[in-house]
Amino acid sequence: MSSSSNAGPALSHLDESGQVRMVDVSGKASTQRSAVAEGRVRMSPEAYRLLSAQENAKGEVLNTARIAGVLASKRCAELIPLCHSLPLSFVGIEFFPDDGASSITVRATCRTDYKTGVEMEAMTACSVAALTIYDMCKAADKGIVLEEIRLRHKSGGKSGEWSND
C-alpha cells in the first residue's frame, strides 16, 4: 500500500536496494536557485587577539579564506561524490567577527541557473573557508572549533523557499 513516495522524505541518493546513485536530472528544467550556508570558527581569546593585533592580519586571513571558499565551491562536484557539476553564477563569502565570543561566522552564498540546487556548493564553500581560517590561526590555538555549519536558506527548484533561522 505505502510506497516511498507516500512515505514522506527518502534518501534520494539510494535506490530501492540501498545502493548509492546519482539523482537523474535529465528531465528537469533550469531555474534560478540560491543557497546560503553558515558556520562559525571559534578560537581562544588569545588567538583571536593575535588576529587583530598584527597589521593587516585579519584582512589577509579573511581574504585568503574567502578565496579558498570560492575556489572550493567551484570544485564541489569533485569532492562530494554524488553532486552534479553545475555552472555557478555567483559565489560570495562574508565574515562576521564577534569580538566578545572570539569567533568568526562564515556565510557562503551560491547561485546558479540550473537543474539542481546549490546547497552543497554553499556548504562546501563555508566549510573550506572555515578550515582555511583554522589553518592560518592554528599556530596560536590548535583547539579552534568549527561549529554549527548548516544551511540557512535556499530558493528555487521544486521545494521553493526554505529557511532555517
- Selected binder of a copy of itself within 31, 57, 97, 155 (CB under 8 A): 57
Q: Contact 114/5 with Cβ under 8 angstroms? A: no
Residues 83-112 that bind a copy of itself (CB under 8 A): 83-92, 111
Pairwise CA distance, residues 128 & 72, whole Å: 7
Q: Which is nearer to a copy of itself, 81 or 100 (CB)?
A: 81
Q: What phi and psi values does residue 159 have, to the nearest 5 degrees?
A: -85, -5
Q: How far is the CB of 100 from a copy of itself (least distance, A)?
A: 20
- By CB under 8 A, is residue 122 in contact with a copy of itself? no
Q: Which is nearer to a copy of itself, 11 or 100 (CB)?
A: 11
- By CB under 8 A, is residue 36 in contact with a copy of itself? no
The answer to whether 76 is annotated as binding is: no
Q: Angle at CA 153, nearest 5°, toward 151 and 157?
A: 110
The answer to whether 148 is annotated as binding is: no
In sequence order, the 6+-apart residues with CB closer than 8 A to the CB of 121 are 35, 73, 76, 83, 86, 88, 91, 110, 112
- Selected binder of a copy of itself within 17, 158, 160, 161 (CB under 8 A): 17
The residue from 24, 98, 135, 141 that is catalytic is 135
Pairwise CA distance, residues 81 & 22, whole Å: 9
Pairwise CA distance, residues 153 & 8, whole Å: 21
Mark residues 134-163: x for contact with a copy of itself by CB under 8 A, - for none.
xxxxxxxxxxxxxxxxxx--x-------x-
The answer to whether 121 is annotated as binding is: yes
User: Cα 110 to the chain's mean position, in Å?
Assistant: 9
The reply to whether 135 belongs to the active site is yes
Q: How far is the CB of 13 from a copy of itself (least distance, A)?
A: 4
Question: Binding site: which residues?
Answer: 82-84, 120-121
Residues with a catalytic annotation lie at 135
